[in-house]
Structure 1
Amino acid sequence: TPTALGMALGCEAALAPAEAAPALHARAVAHLEESPAQDELARARIALGLAAADRDQLHRGLRLARLCGADALAEQARAALA
């Protein structure tokens, strides 16, 4: 399923060398965009934003985390954007 694939890619990205992580996080986001798990999509966007220094992904992840009520995740994005 898109959710399982996206979450697996996120785990792989977390364990991958820093130079490989952004591409894996991007693949995770692509799968999770097709998933009903919006909290996982928020997590993946924030992880991509952190790995790739992509403020747009951080903002998108922050908005989605707020919509999902994922306060700790939203705080992580807010701190990274500060």
Structure 2
Amino acid sequence: MHDPAAIMAITDPDIFTFQKVPLSVIVEGEKVGNVFVCKNLERESVNVAINVDIKAAQKRFKSIFSKADAALNKRINS
């Protein structure tokens, strides 16, 4: 659910709780790609989703896919 949640954080930000946090990404070694809170206060903070209204997210997810399913069925049956 991470990819749909990332999209919903953009399209439906009201169902998320965000916090500004300075982050850094590991670019070498075994942990490459991991993100961690940076203690360097000079680093610019970014909005991080720290909570989601699960019921609202599930409702939105189902709504999107039911519309897509209906559109596909319409194309198939036309």
TM over 0.5: no
Using structure 1 for the length normalisation, give the TM-score. 0.28
**Bigger relative contact order (CA 8 A; separation at least 6):** 2
Q: Choose 1 or 2 for highest CA Rg.
A: 2
Q: Which has the higher strand share?
A: 2
